[in-house]
A = this chain, B = another copy of it.
Amino acid sequence: MSDLLDTIRDLAKPTDSKILMVVLDGVGGLPLETNGDTELAAATTPNLDALAAQSQLGQIELVGAGITPGSGPGHLSLFGYDPLKYIVGRGALSAVGIGVKLGAGDVAVRGNFATLGADRIVQDRRAGRPSDEKNAEIVTKLKAAIPDIDGTPVEIYTESEHRFVVVFRANGGSPLGANLSDVDPQATGVQPMTAQAHDDASQKTADLVNAFVQRAETALKDETQVNGVLFRGYSDVPHFPSFDAAYQLKAACIASYPMYKGLASLVGMDVLTVEGEEDALDGKVQALRDNWSKYDFFYFHVKKTDSTGEDGDFKAKVKKIELFDALLPQLLALNPDVIAIVGDHSTPSKLATHSWHPVPLLIRSNYGRKDLAQRYTEDEALKGSLGLRKGTDLMPLLMANALKLNKYGA
């Protein structure tokens, strides 16, 4: 079905102008008490305030009214892909999250290590949440025990704690289907389930999955806690138009965490190297500066605004916002033709998790109207000239403000 993305593709033209999309992960918040300040409102942000006074503000809803976006759908929406239409399965999301590329016909599966008792009864679906080191040790054992299954190459990757990823490679043979039932019973006190194919193309995948489960249990039989595997979420490579094809943009991703790099890579952005630990804001600015001349679109990701929200730590989230504010002048010094400040979803400390609330949006370009919003906060954004929009409206707005879109029709 046709969507706005198809129209944009027909109108997009390459130009020298540069777009900088800053994603403050989970930046939208809530007041702790009725009519109180959100994290953004409570933060002291002189640089953001000064930028807001010259910018257009509004709000975006990433998926739909009342829908709380996961990071995958939230980002896809920011990148212009309708997240109700472009689905990235859990397996593929995990795979891209650890930097594994999927080819046509391959299937990625998301796995949990589990503790099985007598008669294979699931006692703990997360095997006591092993350390990443223990996870890596188990993965090494499994790699040795299961290099392939009847000639189909099998790759096994550590994700974190109890989570791992298996990729079955089609290896030039028939494409593997991803339409089969879970092994994870999503309950304790019962046995793991046997995967059942839901179509012919997935029969071989089901056989592979069931064989993997059996061989893994044999390989792990001397382990006391991490002695079983559960699978949930199978995916083949998602098919959707690349960022480059959609927008004629040479695009770069500046992010630290695997998942965001994976998503950007999935839509065809170049993933730049960022020096430093964790959120590595200085390393990100350096990467941006070093590559400024080479790209015309930058996705710049800041993670800690979300993590602190997830921790339910209002003050810490305020601090992370202020930390970004201190960094902002370095971004502005590069003189992007268009800069956007936005989030992929809200993560109010009050809820300590993602939420459905719209995210404030700021766009500065040379082509804005007078705007009544004076700060980049949720309530000031209500006065902004951009209004409340779908997340997928963002890319067209940025493209337009960068004068990268031809007129539609004569």
**What is the distance, in angstroms, from A342's C-beta to the closest C-beta of chain B?**
14
Beta-carbon nearest neighbor of A37 in chain B: B370
Interface-facing stretch out of A144-152, A181-189, A326-334, A401-409: A401-409
Would you give the 0/1 interface string for A37-53, flagging 1 where the beta carbon is closer than 8 Å to chain B? 11001000000000001
Q: Which residues of B contact A36 (CB under 8 A)?
A: 370
Verify if A205 is at the interface (C-beta below 8 Å from B).
no
Per the 8 Å Cβ criterion, residues 42-100 of A in contact with B are: 53-54, 59, 63-73, 83-84, 87-88, 90, 93
Most interface-central of A35, A348, A382, A401 (chain B CB within 10 A)? A382
Provide the bound-state CA to CA distance between A383 and B72, in Å: 32
**What is the distance, in angstroms, from A381's C-beta to the closest C-beta of chain B?**
9
Interface residues of chain A: helix, strand, loop or mixed (majority) = loop
Verify if A369 is at the interface (C-beta below 8 Å from B).
yes
Verify if A228 is at the interface (C-beta below 8 Å from B).
no
Contact pick for A367, options B37, B350, B401, CB 8 Å: B350
Q: Which residues of B contact A356 (CB under 8 A)?
A: 396-397, 400, 405
Verify if A134 is at the interface (C-beta below 8 Å from B).
no
Q: Which residues of B contact A59 (CB under 8 A)?
A: 387
**What is the distance, in angstroms, from A388's C-beta to the closest C-beta of chain B?**
4
Contact pick for A410, options B72, B371, B378, B385, CB 8 Å: B72
Q: Which residues of B contact A30 (CB under 8 A)?
A: 367-369
Contact pick for A369, options B31, B88, B351, B385, CB 8 Å: B31
Most interface-central of A388, A389, A400, A408 (chain B CB within 10 A)? A408
Most interface-central of A35, A397, A409 (chain B CB within 10 A)? A409
Provide the bound-state CA to CA distance between A63 and B38, in Å: 34
Q: Which residues of B contact A7 (CB under 8 A)?
A: 63-64, 67, 84
Verify if A18 is at the interface (C-beta below 8 Å from B).
no
Provide the bound-state CA to CA distance between A2 and B82, in Å: 13
Verify if A197 is at the interface (C-beta below 8 Å from B).
no
Would you give the 0/1 interface string for A11-31, flagging 1 where the beta carbon is closer than 8 Å to chain B? 100000000000000000011
Contact pick for A67, options B69, B378, B400, CB 8 Å: B400
- Given A65-B397, A407-B70: A379 in contact with B387 (beta carbons within 8 A): no
Verify if A306 is at the interface (C-beta below 8 Å from B).
no
Q: Are B73 and A408 in contact, CB atoms less than 8 angstroms apart?
A: yes
Per the 8 Å Cβ criterion, residues 230-247 of A in contact with B are: none
Verify if A399 is at the interface (C-beta below 8 Å from B).
yes
Verify if A307 is at the interface (C-beta below 8 Å from B).
no
Q: Are A65 and B369 in contact, CB atoms less than 8 angstroms apart?
A: no
**What is the distance, in angstroms, from A200's C-beta to the closest C-beta of chain B?**
25
Additional pairs, 15, CB under 8 Å, beyond known A36-B370, A356-B397: A4-B65, A11-B67, A41-B370, A59-B387, A64-B393, A64-B396, A65-B390, A67-B396, A68-B408, A69-B407, A70-B407, A353-B407, A356-B400, A382-B383, A388-B388
